[in-house]
Amino acid sequence: MGQGYREVADPSVYVRFPLVDPPKALADTDLLVWTTTPWTLPSNQFAAVKPDLEYSVVRVEDEPRRLIMASALVETIAAKVKKEFVVESTVAGSELLGLRYVPPFDYYYQRQGQTRGKLKSGGAEHVAWRVVAADFVTTDSGTGVVHQAPAFGEVDFDVLQAEQARFADGQGPPLLCSVGPDGKFTEETPEYQGRWVKDADRDICRQLRDEGTLLLLDQYLHDYPFCWRAEEDPLIQYPRKSWFIRTTKFVDKLLANNREIHWLPEHIRDGRMGNFLETNVDWALSRERYWGTPLPIWVCEKTGYAEAVASYAELLAKPGVEGTEAWDAAKRTNPALPDDLRVHKPYVDQITYDSPKAPGARMRRVSEVIDCWFDSGAMPFAQWGYPAREGSHEQFASQFPADFISEALDQTRGWFYSLLAISTLLFSDDGEAEDETRPVAYPHPFRNCIVLGLMLGEDGQKMSKSKRNYREPREIFDRYGADALRWYLFSNQTPWTSIRYSEQAIRECIPEFLLRLWNCYSFFAIYANIDKFDPAAAISGTVDQLAPGDLARARGYRPIVERAEIDRWILGESHRAAAAVTEAMDAYDNYGACARLNEFVDALSNWYVRSCRDRFWSGEMTRDKADAYWTLYECLVTTAKLIAPFTPFVAEALWQNLVAEPFGARARESVHLCDYPEADVAAVDETLSEQMALVREIVSLGRSARMGAKLKVRQPLARVEMILADRRYHEWLERHEALICDELNVKQAEIAEDPEQYITYTVLPNLKRLGPRLGKDLPALRKRLAGADGGKLLVELEAEGKITLALPGGEVSLDRDDIQIRLQAKEGWAAAQGRHCVVVLATELTEELVAEGFARELVRAIQDRRKEIGCEYTDRIAVGIVTDSPDLRAAAERFENYIRGETLTSRFSFEPLAGADPAELDVAGFAATLYVKVDKDNRSRTKER
């Protein structure tokens, strides 16, 4: 039936069912019955009440006959009818059971109203139009007396079946149904024959009113199902004969299998899926449609004996087969018809054979086809023709069970279930299985299942073709690239989160990852071109996937251990990333994998390339410069492989540019033909990784401190001091001053000799460790540590190896791992504090530092002009600076060589330059005029510094 529920207004009718031969207390009394489907009233068979509910006998003003309804609803109904209701007596629902009534229409009643049947328990009873008991009766709406038309409702049908079970075989109530399969009234209801049921509601109500059984006609708003395809067509429930698979018999096995499946997110297992399995009902297998797999059951036209036919060959081998000529004729008419169609409608329906049970009778196929969800669930078997096709056992065994499948949440009852159900039924040892099958270890037919969230449109609503609340994928591809969409889907949320398909969000995810990575590549490409760095020329022979071993053969390629620390670091990071991404993907965690890839590209871009730029700028192809090239090249090639499954086009573009084009046939033609990088744990120096992370934090804090003190990075400073909570890396840091100095533009970086000048120490408990140990004493310890002098405690720890504290609950001894040291910067310094370290800037400026600051301002201004006048990276320029400021001029003279080197200036003067446009400058408050032009005499020379 699907999802086509809509709110509509239907008639709401309150109808009198006059009691027949009631006890005296209920003389001249009618059951009051409510329904929103008047068209079902002609097929009424019972009225249901709840035995433990209290009912009232009500006198209505000006009415000769009394009404029975649930006491709880008397007021509500009186208000609707707008008449005064007087309760004359009350009666338990159980006392109404068995009472007979006259139904509103006598189409069936006139013939069967007096029919009685033999009960299994002895005695006899009227087969219909009696009050019966039902638990589903409520007082939420209606009257507490529920009209039962078993032909048009599942619970009503259950009531009929329960009644039938009470009677001896063939003696019970038949199913009354005055509606045909076309939804129109049949000849059983002559006045309405041929009319679509919903269209007859109006006239049915009119007839009820004319006959005096209608108490009230009203309107009722409720959700009603409509055809999901022809949206204007209301649906009705209708009894049809169907074929079922008795899945209920396998519930335990379904549950046991389900429990072994790794569901992502986990709650699906016991939640949505587990709950669905626990309340499993038999699988309604057959469909009354044309398209679909024909149900392969042939039935004897005389005896009803049925056979399931396993194959076309088996069918043809049946005795007395006829009807195959239908297919032959069709094939002659249209030779292009695929042979697969011969087992489909209409051809297969022509095939009949001799019944083994009745001489002369024929076996004919039933008319139904199979629910297409069965086909979907049969995929793991049917794709190989298992078990019938030759060789299928081997193919099947090699692919079963599947490692993982993925679909959206709505497939819980769809594909996920059909796969699970068929496989479980097929491979469960229930004593009835065919020889072919035997129990298979759970889980099957899939081990892992990623249940995706639903895709939502731009507005957060369900994507809708009619609402057009989304951008066409093709437009997204054209504008931002398919990889932008892929990366957005992979990296922005866990897969089970419903995804908003938003153009803006897709656009915004590009710079952080894809563009940043591409910038790294651009940087490499620009300078590799300038320097003629050519890996393909440096390596001979086949390079295949360009694995580390292939690179190692390159001329100029030095062993990694011999390279600069930062080279070892970034290559180590690439291996750490490969390991982490692989681990995440093995756990089906694409979100975590993307986060890790992003982290690596960030490290490559914002630390490696950034801090190695001047290595690429140096004039000669030194050993160090070559190392930098090989390192960056290897990182980019590895990255291309790492991102290949995530952003295949960008990955391929990298591979083509970096490998496929330069190496030609010596390398694999596509990154997608390469193996996924395997992390080389030996290449990872975890300590170095931590140390570098620390440097990055220090630099970040240094910049923060500069910001706070309003000291721009252009202004060199004399010194930066660092205070660390953890002394382990002190020595290492001292050796890496240069890196920090360079990034922060300071002359000296050192570990503070007198840290307590700048900071105070706080000792905090490591709660995760101490919580279980101390329990209720923990608050006391926290208070004690907060009140203590952190510096003293640390001295004690240094001297004794532990800190001993007296607490109300006894003495506590804390070692280094039991505590965390927090640093707090004191006021009055240009400082910034992080979790584990504090960075303090020396803010006093000497004349020389100020002058150097000026020089850097001038460099920046000249670089700006270079860009404005469209210089190539390698262009030499002529520069003229005219200024009235002696300080500025002095600084420029003093740092002339520095300025020339930074800006590729070949001619430098303090005069206006002919042929150059003047540009006005403001350098820290001093005015100057700058002239820049390309120095043509030096234009074609290669870069040197």
| Contacting residue, 20, 397, 454, 587, with RNA by CB under 7 A | 454
Q: Within positions 5 to 44, which residues make up the interface with RNA, using CB under 7 A?
A: 5
In the complex with RNA, which residue's Cβ is closer, 89 or 242? 242
Distance (Å, whole) CA 370 – CA 344: 12
Q: With CB under 7 A, what is the number of residues at the site for RNA?
A: 88
Q: Is 775 in the site for RNA (CB under 7 A)?
A: yes
In the complex with RNA, which residue's Cβ is closer, 767 or 845? 767
Q: Is 776 in the site for RNA (CB under 7 A)?
A: yes
In the complex with RNA, which residue's Cβ is closer, 310 or 707? 707
Question: Min. distance of Cβ 628 from RNA in angstroms?
Answer: 12
Q: Are β-strands 124-126 and 116-118 bridged in parallel, bridged antiparallel, or unpaired?
A: antiparallel
Q: Within positions 47 to 86, which residues make up the interface with RNA, using CB under 7 A?
A: none
Q: Is 587 in the site for RNA (CB under 7 A)?
A: no
Find the part of the chain contacting RNA (CB under 7 A) among 197-205, 508-516, 552-560, 565-573: 508-516
Task: With CA atoms as reference, report the closest residue to 245 among 282, 286, 278.
Answer: 282
Question: Min. distance of Cβ 194 from RNA in angstroms?
Answer: 29
Q: Within positions 197 to 236, which residues make up the interface with RNA, using CB under 7 A?
A: 223
Residues with Cβ within 8 Å of 459's Cβ and at least 6 positions away in sequence, in order, are 469
| Contacting residue, 360, 779, 828, 886, with RNA by CB under 7 A | 779
Find the part of the chain contacting RNA (CB under 7 A) among 121-129, 375-383, 395-403, 778-786: 778-786
Find the part of the chain contacting RNA (CB under 7 A) among 125-133, 435-443, 539-547, 702-710: 702-710
| Contacting residue, 71, 186, 498, 938, with RNA by CB under 7 A | 498
Question: Min. distance of Cβ 768 from RNA in angstroms?
Answer: 4
Find the part of the chain contacting RNA (CB under 7 A) among 123-131, 197-205, 364-372, 599-607: 599-607
| Contacting residue, 772, 810, 870, 886, with RNA by CB under 7 A | 772
In the complex with RNA, which residue's Cβ is closer, 367 or 497? 497
Q: What are the backbone dihedrals phi and psi of residue 552, each rounded to the nearest 5 degrees, phi first?
A: -60, -20
Question: Min. distance of Cβ 834 from RNA in angstroms?
Answer: 5
In the complex with RNA, which residue's Cβ is closer, 148 or 189? 148
Question: Min. distance of Cβ 525 from RNA in angstroms?
Answer: 9
List the 306-308 sheet strands across, edge first: 306-308, 297-300, 362-365, 353-354
Find the part of the chain contacting RNA (CB under 7 A) among 98-106, 142-150, 315-323, 522-530: 522-530
Find the part of the chain contacting RNA (CB under 7 A) among 2-10, 11-19, 295-303, 570-578: 2-10
In the complex with RNA, which residue's Cβ is closer, 42 or 495? 495
**How many helices (DSSP H) and strands (DSSP E) are in the chain?**
35, 38
| Contacting residue, 704, 760, 843, 929, with RNA by CB under 7 A | 704
Residues with Cβ within 8 Å of 716's Cβ and at least 6 positions away in sequence, in order, are 745, 746, 747, 849, 852, 853, 856
SS3 639: helix
Question: Min. distance of Cβ 817 from RNA in angstroms?
Answer: 13
Mask for 662-701, x = binds RNA (CB under 7 A): --------------------------------------xx
Q: Within positions 600 to 659, which residues make up the interface with RNA, using CB under 7 A?
A: 602, 605-606, 609-610, 613, 617
Distance (Å, whole) CA 715 – CA 845: 9
Q: Is 778 in the site for RNA (CB under 7 A)?
A: yes
CB count in 10 Å sphere of residue 291: 9
Q: Within positions 874 to 903, which residues make up the interface with RNA, using CB under 7 A?
A: 901-903
Which alpha helices (H) appear in 359-469, and where do they start and end? 372-377, 379-382, 392-399, 415-426
> Can you say how many angstroms the Cα of residue 247 is from the centroid of all Cα atoms in its chain?
30
Distance (Å, whole) CA 69 – CA 50: 11
Question: Min. distance of Cβ 904 from RNA in angstroms?
Answer: 4
| Contacting residue, 59, 65, 126, 943, with RNA by CB under 7 A | 943
Q: Is 284 in the site for RNA (CB under 7 A)?
A: no
194-203, long-range: CB within 8 Å, 24+ apart, which pairs? 197/39, 197/236, 198/39, 198/234, 198/236, 200/38, 200/39, 201/10, 201/11, 201/37, 201/38, 201/39, 202/11
Q: Which helix (H) or strand (E) holds 15?
A: strand 5-20
CB count in 10 Å sphere of residue 130: 20
Q: Is 467 in the site for RNA (CB under 7 A)?
A: no
Question: Min. distance of Cβ 340 from RNA in angstroms?
Answer: 30
Distance (Å, whole) CA 882 – CA 756: 49
Q: Is 856 in the site for RNA (CB under 7 A)?
A: yes
Question: Min. distance of Cβ 357 from RNA in angstroms?
Answer: 37
Q: Is residue 55 a contact partner of residue 91, using CB atoms and an 8 Å limit?
A: yes
Distance (Å, whole) CA 715 – CA 850: 7
Two structure tokens written together for 651: 């990955």
CB count in 10 Å sphere of residue 182: 9
SS3 81: helix
Mask for 354-373, x = binds RNA (CB under 7 A): --------------------
Q: Are β-strands 402-408 and 720-724 bridged in parallel, bridged antiparallel, or unpaired?
A: unpaired
Q: Which residue spans within 21-145 are E strands per DSSP?
A: 29-35, 46-49, 54-60, 66-70, 85-92, 100-101, 116-118, 124-126, 130-133
Q: Which helix (H) or strand (E) holds 263?
A: strand 262-264
Find the part of the chain contacting RNA (CB under 7 A) among 8-16, 542-550, 624-632, 853-861: 853-861
In the complex with RNA, which residue's Cβ is closer, 477 or 617? 617
Q: Is 272 in the site for RNA (CB under 7 A)?
A: yes
Two structure tokens written together for 917: 């446009």
In the complex with RNA, which residue's Cβ is closer, 297 or 767? 767
In the complex with RNA, which residue's Cβ is closer, 163 or 902? 902
In the complex with RNA, which residue's Cβ is closer, 413 or 672? 413
Q: Within positions 154 to 193, which residues make up the interface with RNA, using CB under 7 A?
A: 154
Sequential DSSP letters for 707-748: HHTT--TTS-BS-EEEEES-GGGHHHHHHTHHHHHHHHTBS-
Q: What are the backbone dihedrals phi and psi of residue 382, each rounded to the nearest 5 degrees, phi first?
A: -65, -30
In the complex with RNA, which residue's Cβ is closer, 402 or 713? 713
Find the part of the chain contacting RNA (CB under 7 A) among 85-93, 333-341, 500-508, 912-920: 500-508
Q: Is residue 717 a contact partner of residue 711, using CB atoms and an 8 Å limit?
A: yes
Q: Within positions 809 to 838, which residues make up the interface with RNA, using CB under 7 A?
A: 820, 822, 833-835
SS3 937: helix
Question: Min. distance of Cβ 294 from RNA in angstroms?
Answer: 25
Residues with Cβ within 8 Å of 130's Cβ and at least 6 positions away in sequence, in order, are 46, 47, 98, 99, 100, 101
Question: Min. distance of Cβ 281 from RNA in angstroms?
Answer: 9
CA angle 911, 913, 919 (to 5 degrees): 90
In the complex with RNA, which residue's Cβ is closer, 361 or 409? 409
Q: Is residue 456 a contact partner of residue 499, using CB atoms and an 8 Å limit?
A: yes
Find the part of the chain contacting RNA (CB under 7 A) among 64-72, 407-415, 569-577, 788-796: 407-415
Find the part of the chain contacting RNA (CB under 7 A) among 15-23, 181-189, 513-521, 579-587: 513-521
Distance (Å, whole) CA 700 – CA 706: 10
Distance (Å, whole) CA 331 – CA 149: 49
Find the part of the chain contacting RNA (CB under 7 A) among 383-391, 398-406, 419-427, 496-504: 496-504
